[in-house]
């Protein structure tokens, strides 16, 4: 039974990845932060399953800002595969907490690469990079050869971690693969991300629990895919003979306005009656024309997205409506 360790297992990607690996027969270990709150809603269904939890799924307290805990965990588990997903991943928030963003996402990742150097049998590693490393690219779509020009603290931290993965791969022979992922969403997306903010607001307005939705920029565009598709690519990257970097994207961009239109339309609402714009919510530096070219992933991994944009937003909206009807907060 192959053994995998996931940092960030309680996040959107980590929860879908845990499901995928369990379905493939893995023994799955997750590193979680020690907090006073025990709720881990995205993986609660797995923890409640006695056939899985404690048998093939195990959670361990370890964190990027506590290197000793991670080092001991790696030495004890000796995983075959490591999926490094943890870190401060909200772009807007990175302007408010740039130091902690860089501490966790950049230096925390570097410390992890250092730990791997010392292991007698280092695992194959997937590193979750981001399209934000490209910032304001000079050409579109972007691929693996596009220069890094980040324009926000999160993008800078990810650019550092991504480049250091290449350095350690080439210098020390570690199996380190960067997945340069464009935006990927799902019903498990955090509520502070704009897509989930929109779909949850539409459901709340439909249920009479909310009157309006306040947004900053309806014309901002992103390359949005489904998280289930992206975690499948993570696994495929670690099944290759040699490590490499891959852009994971749909190749299409859509605007925030389109997200709003589909979400409200799904519930029979006129969005113009409920959406208000507040310029204060605009980001200080907005990336331009971020859209990915995943031709390399298609050719080498046999990967391509299976969920289109409209289907994604509808799924998120209906899931939020169902949660509210079931008594969710």
| Catalytic machinery residues | 130, 132, 154
CB proximity list for 326: less than 8 A, separation 6 or greater: none
* Cα 43 to Cα 13: distance, rounded to the nearest angstrom: 11
How many angstroms separate the Cα of 316 from the Cα of each of 188, 241, 253, 321? 8, 36, 18, 9
* Cα 212 to Cα 204: distance, rounded to the nearest angstrom: 9
* Cα 93 to Cα 98: distance, rounded to the nearest angstrom: 8
* Cα 35 to Cα 286: distance, rounded to the nearest angstrom: 33
Instruction: Outline where the chain has alpha helix (H).
Output: 12-23, 44-47, 67-77, 91-96, 98-102, 108-118, 153-172, 194-206, 227-237, 256-266, 295-296, 309-325
- Which of 69, 317, 92, 27 minimizes the C-alpha distance to 197? 317
How many angstroms separate the Cα of 57 from the Cα of each of 12, 25, 65? 17, 11, 23
166: exposed, middle or buried (Cβ count in 10 Å: 0-12, 13-18, 19+): middle
How many angstroms separate the Cα of 11 from the Cα of each of 16, 104, 198? 9, 15, 19
DSSP, collapsed to helix, strand or coil, labels residue 94 as helix
* Cα 232 to Cα 130: distance, rounded to the nearest angstrom: 16
């Amino acid at each position: 039974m192959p053994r995998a360790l996931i940092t960030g297992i309680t996040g959107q990607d980590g929860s879908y990845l845990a499901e995928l690996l369990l379905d493939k027969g893995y023994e799955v270990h997750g590193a979680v932060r020690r907090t006073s709150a025990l709720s881990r809603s995205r993986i609660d269904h797995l923890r409640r399953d006695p056939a899985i939890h404690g048998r093939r799924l195990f959670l361990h307290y370890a964190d990027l800002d506590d290197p000793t805990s991670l080092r001991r965990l790696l030495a004890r588990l000796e995983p075959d595969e490591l999926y490094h997903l943890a870190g401060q991943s909200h772009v807007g928030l990175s302007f408010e907490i740039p130091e902690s963003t860089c501490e966790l996402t950049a230096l925390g990742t570097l410390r992890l690469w250092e730990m791997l150097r010392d292991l007698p049998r280092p695992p194959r590693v997937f590193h979750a990079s981001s399209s934000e490393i490209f910032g304001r690219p000079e050409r579109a779509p972007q691929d693996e050869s596009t220069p890094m020009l980040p324009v926000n603290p999160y993008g800078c931290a990810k650019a550092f971690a991504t480049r250091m993965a290449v350095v350690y791969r080439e210098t020390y022979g570690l199996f380190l693969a960067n997945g340069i992922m464009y935006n990927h969403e799902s019903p498990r997306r955090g509520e502070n991300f704009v897509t989930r903010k929109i779909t949850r607001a539409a459901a709340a307005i439909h249920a009479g629990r909310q009157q309006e939705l306040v947004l900053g920029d309806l014309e901002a565009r992103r390359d949005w895919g489904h998280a289930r598709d992206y975690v499948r690519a993570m696994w495929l990257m670690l099944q290759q003979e040699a490590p490499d970097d891959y852009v994971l994207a749909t190749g299409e961009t859509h605007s925030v306005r389109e997200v709003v239109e589909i979400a409200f339309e799904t519930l029979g609402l006129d969005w113009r009656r409920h959406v208000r714009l507040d310029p204060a919510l605009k980001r200080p530096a907005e990336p331009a024309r971020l859209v990915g070219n995943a031709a390399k992933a298609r050719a080498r991994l046999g990967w391509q997205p299976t969920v289109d944009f409209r289907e994604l937003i509808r799924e998120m909206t209906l899931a939020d409506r169902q949660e509210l009807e079931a008594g969710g907060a």
